Amino acid sequence: MATAARPAAVGRAGDGSVVPRNRPVRRTGRATPYLFLAPFLVLFIGFVLLPAVYGIWVSLHDYDYLLPGKPWVGLQNYTELFDSAGRDAVNFWHAMRATGIFTVLSVPLLLVLPLGLALLLNRAFPGRTFFRAVFFTPYVLGVAVVGVLFRFILEPTIGVVNYYLGLLHLPQPAWTTSTPWVWVTLVGMTVWWTVGFNAIIYLAGLQDISPDLYEAAEVDGANKWQQFRYVTLPGLRPVMLFVLTVTILASANMFGQAYITTQGAPSNETRTAIMYIAQTGLREFRQGAAAAMGYILAAALILISLANFRLFRTEEGES
């Protein structure tokens, strides 16, 4: 196709016509762009667009992929979740609660601590690249590795954390099996795992703030704290909104830490929404109900994100 298009186009250029800027490089065969796009589109349509729509259809059925009959039930999979007598209602909202607790506890830490790290790294000093890489390293490990590692480190009797706590004559909690310690464990390991990722994003945001602003603030007699409050924080606002959004999404997706390290314990206290959705849809094969739960979690996320965007916009208006 592309070859067929060539002579005509070269002819045009040969005529001495000027190639306009900011236009596609050349007129090509009509099919060429689609041929370039086709391989990706097959995958994109098959595994992103189609499932996004197919999931809605599944959620409207009493769907078990192993059974021949998949009766249409309308919105019943959704309404049952809001009816305390519904089969999954109590368990699902208990799992949503776990995800909610985790999100509320982890997001503020993952918003503030990485900013501190980024401020520490936001200066020229020998070894900067090295330390930046060290802080980021846990993030390149999978959650499965992080999960088994922390389960071992936090083991109540033979774990190294309780070993040192014992040497210091401090209490040795059951980190992976008792409340509230399970939450400390889940939040702590998640901070350890992802703080470097958020710090790198902040760091880029910090370097995007013009040094002129700091100079101007200094000329005006602003001290370090005032510079941080009136130059750094406002300058970081868009990056902060991005970090907030990404971190909330990641928290809502929380699965591996609870699946491997606390294994939902104690008594499903830390079984998250994703764990329950996967359990319902992919172990018990009640895909209709599970798909409906997924959309409800997604709806909750959309509401939270909208609230965040509004919040950040209002603050901008006021300051």
Partner 1 sequence: MAADTVEAVAGLGQERLRPATGAGRGRTPGRIGFYVVLVILSLVFILPLLWMLVTSFKQTQDATSQPLGWIPNPFTTESYTPLASTTSQTPVVLWFLNSLAAATINTVLIVVTASLAAYALARMDFPGKKLLFGLIVGTIFIPSFVLLIPNFLIVSDLGWLDSIWAIAIPSAGGAFGVFFLRQIFLSLPREIEEAAWLDGANQFQIFYRIVLPLVRPGLATLAVLSFLTNWNELIWPVYVLFSPSKFTLPAGLPILQGAYNTNYPIIMAGAVVASVPVIILFVLAQRHVIASVARSGLKG
Site string for partner 1, 74-113 (x = CB under 8 A): ----------------------------------------
Chosen residue from 8, 11, 79, 131 binding partner 1 by CB under 8 A: 131
Asked whether position 37 contacts partner 1 by CB under 8 A, the answer is: yes
Copy the structure tokens of residue 286: 């009640």
Nearer to partner 1, 101 or 240 (CB): 240
Nearest distance in Å: CB 87, partner 1: 17
Binding mask 185-204 for partner 1 (x = CB under 8 A): -------x---xx--xxxxx
Query: Which residue(s) pair with 61 in the sheet?
Result: 72
**Burial of 3 by CB count in 10 Å (0-12 exposed, 13-18 middle, 19+ buried)?**
exposed
DSSP label at residue 17: P
CA 2, CA 32: separation in Å to the nearest integer? 6
Contacts of 12 (CB under 8 A, 6+ apart): 27
Binding-site member from 135, 190, 264, 270 for partner 1 (CB under 8 A): 135
Does 168 sit near partner 1 (CB under 8 A)? no
Is 264 an interacting residue with respect to partner 1 (CB under 8 A)?
A: no
Asked if residue 170 binds partner 1 (CB under 8 A), the reply is: no
User: Which segment (83-91, 116-124, 179-187, 306-314) binds partner 1 by CB under 8 A?
Assistant: 116-124
CA distances from 200 to 15, 85, 115, 137, 205 (A): 52, 47, 9, 12, 9
DSSP string, 40-106: HHHHHIIIIIHHHHHHHHHHTB---TTSS---B-TTHHHHGGGSTTSTTHHHHHHHHHHHHHHHHHH
135 or 181: whose CB is closer to partner 1? Answer: 135
Of 85 and 158, the one with the shorter C-beta distance to partner 1 is 158
Told to check if 134 binds partner 1 by CB under 8 A, we report yes
